[in-house]
Structure 1
């Protein structure tokens, strides 16, 4: 089959979240079918020409054709902020207006004039404005999250009244947009049964299937290095609000209790764009290390005694949890961080949803090495059985062939 993969970002390097999922699915799908990639470049992810060229070169190894365009609103100073204001007074949500681009319409028309695609894969609902270009191709829509549900959850958790109202309005408009556009696709793909149930509650007629998030099991595996006693690690880009809010919560409410209960505790927080509050804490308390972006998270995860994930917002499934499981880590996490992943409290992770519970569960895993090892072994086995990207990619290829 000839497949056109349309993306809201160039998913490289594949370090976490959407980047990791999309990169691996494209790579695996290309083993079975001819895949061409057309993507926007989000400057926050690939800010330099050198980085963009590296991404294009990487995808050229397994894609038939690779085209990447800048996002129009990001070419102008304050362009995105002006678009936010404009979107308040339009029918469509901000994310739809953000990716509606004349240059992309032109590029896609050119690709269609030169190629006969069997299938077009839309990597997010925000690319639905380009649906009108495709008349005879089969269409798949990928849901990294159910965007409206995630936005409404963000509104619920937001304390600032103006932001709360804005997120609520966006969430409601996204729901209306999803209700209208999702049925136009031949297949909707979600990351988990949880997200499938969420969207089917609203649009019961949808054709939906799960293509779960996964792990490159040959890259993420237990390295077997020496572990630092009483040490924690978290990895996640701080430019994604669920990660940022999770670690700000942890620093404010959990860390003081942990240092009182375990004076020699230490933590390493990994991820690009750490907020000033975390950097200030790291300057004041040498036990709290902010590493920022790193090329390879594996040594940091391997050295830690426990992986902590206090995420209580967002949607989809958290690839950081899958990576930690693949590396045989004992994990203490908010249940929301594990939504859609087939983990069990006490068997593959320990759940915590209050500062006191985090202290209790982390202390338990520091002291009980047998339990710590059990969680790690069970987590690795779960990944090998259900979450290898090789197996997941084969399922996606089969779904494409079945349309």
Structure 2
């Protein structure tokens, strides 16, 4: 099958995390079995070497410059203009910001020439390049990493929105937008059953398929020994609102109380691009903000417990999968463990669940004090990843969506 993949985000190297890691690994699997043409955009931080390396994984690599974003313009006039365009045209500014007429023309010519049998949009923003009528002549798939409407609504409900007034105005427009774009595709791919429930309201008749994320088991081998001690780690890019909220919530509300019980406890906030509100957490004794690290697996192996205290955000969390692959016991919230069978009747215990300050302290204390429980979670977490959450398995599922 001739596949055209659309990704405005340059999907290499996969160590960038988030969208790049999922796009690259699905692309890598498909390109071993099908001719894949990737159309993507180059931002200023993409190097010539990275372009050359990515080109080795596809049949054809087509790159366009990243458009200059109108969202960088500040001032009341610019904000009113963007909202007005959203109101009239129905497409959010964040989606319009990646639109390239040159890229659209190239895609149109490629499709009209019959050079592909399937189109995949790697992240929902790429839907802007897909014409509604194409659904009737070839397979069109959108890989929705999470519902923007659902995410914004959740942030408003939990009072974590950065700009609540703007988000309240945008919310009904986002609902209209997602309902429209969900009707354009032959199939809609989500990462968890919870995501499916978020999106099914927009198009109940659509074909939904769940393709979870995976882990590169070579990059995240299980740790050879339990380090013991009272060392915690939280992993994630530290300029993403959900990670910022999680880091600050745990550092300010949970960690000081845990420190009273375990004075030598430490917390590493490990991830690239820490914003000032994360960097200032180093003022709290025992907290380290690492920035980008050479090997996340090595940092995980040094930790006694990995925490995933997410309060907002949907979808399966790479950070959770990677910690479990590395054999590190996990304590996570409902959001941090979304999509994973880790506890409950007839399910082997693979992680501990916590959603309040008291539950975090209790779960972490249990693990600090019980080496056997740590080993149990380490072994059973790794087994779950090996059997259910490899990129090979995710690629197989994605391929079946395209071939069905």
User: Equivalents in 1 of 2:148, 2:101: separation in Å?
Assistant: 24
2:153 touches 2:171 (CA, 8 Å); kept in 1? yes
Structure 2 residue aligned with 1:78? 72
User: Equivalents in 1 of 2:80, 2:316: separation in Å?
Assistant: 31
Q: Is 2:222 aligned against 1:222?
A: yes
> After superposition, what is the alpha-carbon deviation per residue over 1:285-324, rounded to whole angstroms, capped at 9, x for unaligned?
2x21111012320100011010011111111111110111
- Cα distance change of structure 1 residues 127 and 159 upon mapping to structure 2, 3 Å threshold: closer
> After superposition, what is the alpha-carbon deviation per residue over 1:262-287, rounded to whole angstroms, capped at 9, x for unaligned?
100011111112132432332552x2
> After superposition, what is the alpha-carbon deviation per residue over 1:94-126, rounded to whole angstroms, capped at 9, x for unaligned?
222222222322332454477611111011222
Structure 2 residue aligned with 1:153? 154
Superposed counterparts of 1:217-366, under 5 Å: 217-225=217-225, 227=227, 229-283=229-283, 285=285, 287-344=286-343, 347-366=349-368
- Once the two structures are TM-superposed, the CA of residue 138 in structure 1 deviates from its matched residue by 1.7
- Once the two structures are TM-superposed, the CA of residue 178 in structure 1 deviates from its matched residue by 1.5
User: Equivalents in 2 of 1:379, 1:169: separation in Å?
Assistant: 42
The equivalent position to 1:52 in structure 2, one of 47, 51, 55, is 47
- Cα distance change of structure 1 residues 103 and 154 upon mapping to structure 2, 3 Å threshold: farther
In structure 2, the residue corresponding to 1:73 is in which secondary structure? coil
Structure 2 residue aligned with 1:24? 25
Aligned residues: 393
User: Equivalents in 2 of 1:85, 1:67: separation in Å?
Assistant: 35
Structure 1 residue aligned with 2:130? 131
Structure 1 unmatched runs, 5+: none
1:192 touches 1:316 (CA, 8 Å); kept in 2? yes
> After superposition, what is the alpha-carbon deviation per residue over 1:324-360, rounded to whole angstroms, capped at 9, x for unaligned?
1111111111111111122226811111112222112
Could you list the runs of 4 or more consecutive aligned residues of structure 1 that deviate by over 6 angstroms after TM superposition?
80-83
In structure 2, the residue corresponding to 1:72 is in which secondary structure? coil
User: Equivalents in 2 of 1:152, 1:94: separation in Å?
Assistant: 17
1:10 touches 1:55 (CA, 8 Å); kept in 2? no
The equivalent position to 1:64 in structure 2, one of 59, 65, 78, is 59
> After superposition, what is the alpha-carbon deviation per residue over 1:136-185, rounded to whole angstroms, capped at 9, x for unaligned?
3321011111221112112222357x811222333332221121121221
Structure 1 residue aligned with 2:103? 104
User: Equivalents in 2 of 1:158, 1:53: separation in Å?
Assistant: 42
User: Equivalents in 1 of 2:231, 2:28: separation in Å?
Assistant: 35
TM-score by length of 2: 0.90
- Cα distance change of structure 1 residues 186 and 325 upon mapping to structure 2, 3 Å threshold: same
User: Equivalents in 1 of 2:184, 2:196: separation in Å?
Assistant: 17
- Once the two structures are TM-superposed, the CA of residue 223 in structure 1 deviates from its matched residue by 3.2
Question: 266-275 or 224-233, which moves further after superposition?
Answer: 224-233
Two-structure CA RMSD over aligned residues (Å): 2.3
User: Equivalents in 1 of 2:235, 2:301: separation in Å?
Assistant: 12
User: Equivalents in 2 of 1:89, 1:377: separation in Å?
Assistant: 54
Structure 2 residue aligned with 1:389? 391
User: Equivalents in 2 of 1:147, 1:401: separation in Å?
Assistant: 28
Structure 1 residue aligned with 2:5? 5
Structure 1 residue aligned with 2:38? 37
- Cα distance change of structure 1 residues 316 and 159 upon mapping to structure 2, 3 Å threshold: closer
User: Equivalents in 1 of 2:266, 2:112: separation in Å?
Assistant: 58
2:233 touches 2:268 (CA, 8 Å); kept in 1? yes
- Cα distance change of structure 1 residues 131 and 248 upon mapping to structure 2, 3 Å threshold: same
- Cα distance change of structure 1 residues 200 and 284 upon mapping to structure 2, 3 Å threshold: closer
